[in-house]
Amino acid sequence: MKSWQNVWDGLVGFFTEEIVYNYVSLILQFLLLAILFYYVFKVLKDNKGMKFIAAVIFFVLICGVTFAFSGFETYILLLVIIMIALLVFTMFHSEIKRSMLDSNGKKAKSEALTVSGVELIIDETIRAVQNMSKKDIGALIVLSNENLPEGIIQSGTVINAAISSQMIEAVFYPKAPLHDGAMIIEGNRIYAAGCFLPVLQSENLPKDMGSRHRAALGITSVASVTCIVVSEETGIISIVKNGVVKKRYADASDLKNALSDYYWSDLTAEGKM
């Protein structure tokens, strides 16, 4: 076991001698690690693995301190980091492949939202939801701050269209090809539709809550999003957040409050305004 003095002497020797005589090797190792960390963290970030990122950083720091005191060679730390990268690849191989092959994966940036623009979007959304409720047309709308796993977006069709009551109702028209899935709204755009969400498996739900309610409860349990659900059987409007039905039999006022919270709280909290 090394003492602090030995560790300090080793660091001094590294920066005064090792770098001078082995700078080419060190530069190559640094570039390799930089590229490795970039792709590992990119995949984890794209798939909302922030806790896993923190665990990887903590593990690498612990390994570095351990190796500094135990006298292991630096290449052992490199091997450990590569092993971590292989673990991440094993867990997220599909997402890595999609990230590398999908050249159009970047989302178009939304235009800056204004007060009048948000009010218009809220009015259009409420109009569409109420129209579908009156006609008993089922719908599931997810208000997202770009915090959904890419796999959910990829399960549907990217639309990237302006929000209007006509567009929302057209997507959920019973004979439309995307009506069975969820619509993803991000800011002032309908980003995707026909998306499949994780479904909550529970026998305690009321019988009048079907697959759309289960999907809304499932996605809000794992992601910080708000869902608006229109029942196809009854036309009842529900607002779902944090894994629970916040409001059943929601009216225009309830919808306006939920949409206002999304645009003036959720989005601004993410620094998107």
The sign of the torsion formed by the CA atoms of 153, 159, 165, 170 equals negative
- pLDDT tens for the 273 residues of the chain, in order: 445 555 555 555 544 554 445 556 656 666 776 777 777 677 666 655 566 667 667 766 766 666 555 554 555 556 666 666 666 666 655 555 445 444 344 444 445 677 888 999 999 999 999 999 999 999 999 999 877 888 899 899 999 999 999 999 999 999 999 999 999 999 899 999 999 998 887 666 666 678 899 999 999 988 889 999 999 989 999 999 988 999 999 999 999 999 999 988 766 544 444
Give 42's contacts (C-beta < 8 A, 6+ positions apart).
Answer: 99
Local structure of 193: helix, strand or coil: strand
pLDDT for the residue 85: 65
Domain boundaries, the chain: 4-101, 115-269
How many other C-beta atoms can be found within 10 angstroms of the C-beta atom of residue 54? 11
**């709280």: which residue's tokens?**
265
CATH of domain 115-269: 3.40.1700.10
pLDDT for the residue 120: 94
As a whole number of Å, the CA-based R_g of the chain is 25
Could you tell me what percentage of the chain is helix, strand and coil, using 3-state DSSP and rounding each to the nearest 5? 55, 15, 30
Q: What is the pTM of this model?
A: 0.61
Local structure of 90: helix, strand or coil: helix
